Amino acid sequence: MNTKIWVRTEHKANEHRVAVVPKDAKALIDAGYDVTVEKSADRCVAIEDYEAVGCTIAEEGSWPSAPKDAFVLGVKELPAGDDDLIHRHIYFGHVYKDQPGWQHTLGRFVSGKGTLYDLECLVDENNRRVAAFGYWAGYAGAAVAVMAWNGQQAGNTPSLDVVNSYKNVDALLAYLKSGLDKSAAKPNMVVIGALGRSGSGAVDLGEALGLDVSKWDMAETSSGGPFPELQQHSIFVNCILATKECPRFVSADDIKVEDRKLSVISDVSCDPESIYNPIPIYNRSTTFTAPVFSVEGCTPPLDVIAIDHLPSMLPLESSEDYSNQLTKVLLELNEPEKGVWGRALNDFNKNLARL
């Protein structure tokens, strides 16, 4: 029996990415998979392109009626609800770090006897992620930070009122350069996690704009803090995941210094509700339609950006890159209890045991 993959509509607002692009869908079909793709008005790739490579086309949001043995593949979380989840789902679940509502979401899998293969848990034998949007998250996170800084220089309140998606990188860079050209000076930027995927994307964006970029990683943060040097950068881009071992990079006390230059923080890793949040001056995510959180009582102003689906700002490039990585392991999905998939399944079962 052929392995079935059902590419569902994304339900999150302003989400334009897709986990598998047509070129890679064809590779799966050529390998004997049955690939169904739902229609979507917001996806960065036209449904006709999937039809042209042999995918079966389904109506938008019809995944609950997919064959029970299908793997339902998405990028971001499912819509909120109480319905039982009966399928084997593949997406970024955001339910393993005690995020609000995690028990309810996992409970839907329990009652429906479904399974979650969390995309964040697809790792090789060395515990390294086999597919990640990280590079484009960092690139976009640094870009939004520059937008907010430009807005501050222009005297806008809020500094940034909306974030749009861009056709490609060139269009994004042209927009950012036009904003920087209106200012007498350029911001400097510090990236923590500069040697990782997200960090390298943030560094590349800063350097593409000709900014002075400080590249920090484990060596620069090994002291555990405090880190007063961060206050002397206009923009701080955090690309380090929140963990128990992670230092606190910017606290309420840190930003009280009189000579603070820091005016924009982009938290690419975006775990504000975690008890391990390394930037504990804010506690909620921001969105494409409300992208900045202004820290109260700050002079000069300090804006925090914490959008949890930043790569959707460059949906085509990020989807093509991610799809190329993910398809390699989707081709192993005929044995979902082994290898990469087996490790993700173990993570799911461990977290079910916490309920």
Q: Which are the catalytic amino acids? A: 76, 94
Is the Cβ–Cβ distance between 262 and 230 less than 8 Å?
yes
Distance, in Å, from the CA atom of 175 to the CA atom of 181, rounded to the nearest integer, reads: 10
List residues bridging with 183 in a β-sheet: none
Residue 116 · residue 126 · CB < 8 Å = no
Tell me how far apart the alpha carbons of residues 30 and 27 are, in angstroms, rounded to a whole number: 5
The number of angstroms, rounded, from the C-alpha of 43 to the middle of its chain's C-alpha atoms is: 16
Q: What angle is formed at CA 304 by the lines to CA 212 and CA 105, rounded to 5 degrees?
A: 125
Instruction: Identify the three-state secondary structure at position 66.
Output: coil
| CB-count exposure of residue 318 (10 Å: 0-12, 13-18, 19+) | buried
Q: How far apart are CA 24 and CA 187, in angstroms?
A: 40
Residue 119's Cβ-side half-sphere holds a number of Cα atoms within 13 Å equal to 26
What's the token pair of residue 120? 């964040």
Structure tokens belonging to residue 80: 């909120």
CA distance linking residue 281 with residue 298, whole number of Å: 11
Which structure tokens are listed for 223? Answer: 């002291």
Enumerate the β-bridge partners of residue 267. 238
Tokens (6 digits) for 86 = 């009966």
Residue type, 349: N
β pairing state of 71-73 and 4-7: parallel
